[in-house]
Amino acid sequence: MGSDVPPLEKAPPTWTIALTLTGGLALAAISVGVTLSGVDGGNAGLAAAGRASMVLVPVVAGCYAWWRTPHRRFGVLLVLVGAGWFLSTLSESDNSLLYSVGRVASWFVELELIYLVLSFPTGRVTDRVDRSIVAAAALLVCLVYLPTAPLDRDFPVPSPYTSCDTGCPQNAFFVLGSEPGVIDSVIRPLRDSLAALLFLAVTLRLAQRVRGSTRLLRRTLNPVLAVAVLRFAFAALFLVARRVDSQGTEIDVIGWGAALGLPAMAAAFLAGLLRWRLFVAQALQSLGLKMRDGRGSAKLQSTLADALGDPSLRLFYRVPLNGGSWLDADGARVALSEPRPGQLVTTVEGGAGEPIAAIVHDEALRGHDELIEAVAGYARITIDNMRLYAEVEASLAEARESRSRMVASADRERRKIERDLHDGAQQRLVALRIKLELAEDELRRDPEAGLARIHALGAEVEQTLDEIRALAHGVYPPLLSDEGLGEALRAAARRTALPATVSVDGIGRYTPELESAVYFCCVEALQNAAKHAGGGAKVSVRLTEDDRLRFEVRDDGAGFDPGVAGRGMGLTNMRDRISAVGGDLELSAAPGEGAAVIGSVPLPARS
């Protein structure tokens, strides 16, 4: 299967790295041999070590970046520049052809070096100013330096690329009988001046990037750019010093400073990478310690910003309503637009793969997938905890409201019972007591009339008993306690105004609290159906048992829109009753399609 990842963005095989390192060692060894054979005096060993480092250090640093870091493209460029600088080390040879190849190659390696530092750390020159500098360098090499190769009898000395000051090999590419006078009087001063100005422009550009870099980007950017600024400053200074006094003792120091700039930059690049890895470890440790504290969204944003050392970091939360709007850390609704220059957006996805948050952060994190994923993971966990905490708080608030409603409902029922007893049975009993007293007086005066009066009171006693029984049925139906849910609901269905059927599938007996909650919920649903379903409608009640006791009261009446009808007290009372025994309840309705009350309650463990 093909891959959409560009070749330079993928980690190379280990054998490729091993082969590249072997090639770098071979080139460094050749550089050592050429330098030792061409340099006279006691400085041959130091010169050989310096030339070898110009080849080997960039290759080693480039291989590491290519293999183990997100800066793979820059690592490949570093390897190529190291291999190119090998050609410049041939300038230490006493062979005319090798010496000439090395001196001409030094013009091109300067172009490589300019492209390398201006493309750091992505390996691409994207800014218009940087592209202009690279284009100017290419024009200088191709139009000013390269055409003089056949015209120069001798290359100018001293040079950062050779230890030879006097008696150096002649230019093997010289094709004229004598060197034109314009070369020494015009061409060399002109190209040295243009090269010095170019090096100065690169120095200023790099200094500008150092000043303008973000705090997070400085961890890898500054070590390399600081060394690069010094190197190009040395290169410009060397050209000026050579024109002023080519025999000065300080010119050798300046020349070696310019020559060793590349290995110094490669070493700084490695140091920056190691510094970044240490920063990643510290950031993850800091996140792990700080995520224990607080649940606020503003604190999460500040925690991520502190751990990553990125004060510009912003955290946004997605609200899955109205097409998915966004809130900032303070809860204000915002529009998630394109990030500012120098920033990237990382989306945090929830368990179902939908975006739940977005982190706007420094572009220095580009390519550091392991750190970004870790930060997103911490954010995901914290957001989930915030959501769970909010759900628990909402559940507790709902439970408190439900308890308050149940207490108020109990008080209302108690007052209703008191009122019914006072207005009904109590009044009958008071009247019955008075009639008994009258019957007692009647017995004393006329025993036969008194007995007739007492017998007449029997019907009133029966009526009083009927009222008390009806009142008791409203509190807890005797049929429910004696026969269970099935028979109690069948009796309730027979009393309803609509034709109703009751289907019971394998249910048994349960605790009084559970049976009472389900019974009164179904009875209230039957009453609601009788009120709202309309004439000609039918009602069905169905109870089943699996891991829960499930019930459904459905009518085929006119139906309604739940969003328009709202939540009435009947539905609220039913929810409160079912919630009190740990169950849940939902209402399903649509205009013209009837309505259904569907609920379930958990069953207690049976011994």
Query: 222 with 165, same domain?
Result: yes
Q: Is residue 284 part of a domain?
A: no
Q: Are strands 539-545 and 500-505 parallel, antiparallel or unpaired?
A: parallel
Q: How many percent of the chain have pLDDT more than 70?
A: 76
Given 475, 492, 525, which residue is the final one in a domain?
475
What is the domain-level CATH number for residue 451? 1.20.5
Query: 423 with 568, same domain?
Result: no
Q: Is residue 598 part of a domain?
A: yes
Query: 244 with 340, same domain?
Result: no
pLDDT band at 1 (very low <50, low <70, confident <90, very high): very low
What is the domain-level CATH number for residue 594? 3.30.565.10
Domain count, the chain: 4
Query: 62 with 201, same domain?
Result: yes
Domain span at residue 382 reads: 294-394
Q: Is residue 286 part of a domain?
A: no
Query: 214 with 80, same domain?
Result: yes
Task: Report if pTM > 0.85.
Answer: no
Query: 308 with 191, same domain?
Result: no
What are 300's two structure tokens? 């999460």
Query: 261 with 123, same domain?
Result: yes
Query: 35 with 183, same domain?
Result: yes
For residues 224 and 187, the answer to whether their CB atoms sit within 8 Å is: no
Q: Is residue 282 part of a domain?
A: no
Q: Is residue 179 part of a domain?
A: yes
Query: 59 with 151, same domain?
Result: yes
Query: 190 with 70, same domain?
Result: yes
Q: Is residue 319 part of a domain?
A: yes
Query: 366 with 418, same domain?
Result: no
Give 558: exposed, middle or buried? Use CB within 10 Å, 0-12, 13-18, 19+: middle
Q: Is residue 575 part of a domain?
A: yes
A 10 A CB-CB count for 480 gives: 22
Q: What are 417-466's pLDDT values in tens digits?
A: 655 555 455 656 766 777 677 777 777 787 777 777 777 777 777 766 76
User: Which contacts of 208-217 are long-range, i.e. CB under 8 A and separated by 24 or more positions?
Assistant: 214/310, 214/312, 214/342, 214/362, 214/364, 215/309, 215/310, 215/311, 215/362, 216/308, 216/309, 216/310, 216/362, 216/364, 216/365, 217/362, 217/363, 217/364
Q: Select the highest-mean-pLDDT range: 47-61, 245-259, 531-545.
A: 47-61
- Mean pLDDT value across residues 19-34: 93
Look at residue 280 and tell me whether its pLDDT is greater than 60.
Answer: yes
What is the domain-level CATH number for residue 186? 1.20.1070
Given 449, 475, 501, which residue is the final one in a domain?
475
Q: How confident is the model at residue 598, as a pLDDT?
A: 92
Query: 322 with 441, same domain?
Result: no
- Rounded Cα distance, 111 and 91, in Å: 17
Given 356, 371, 394, which residue is the final one in a domain?
394
Q: Is residue 493 part of a domain?
A: yes
- Mean pLDDT value across residues 84-102: 91
Q: 269 versus 409: which is more confidently predicted?
A: 269
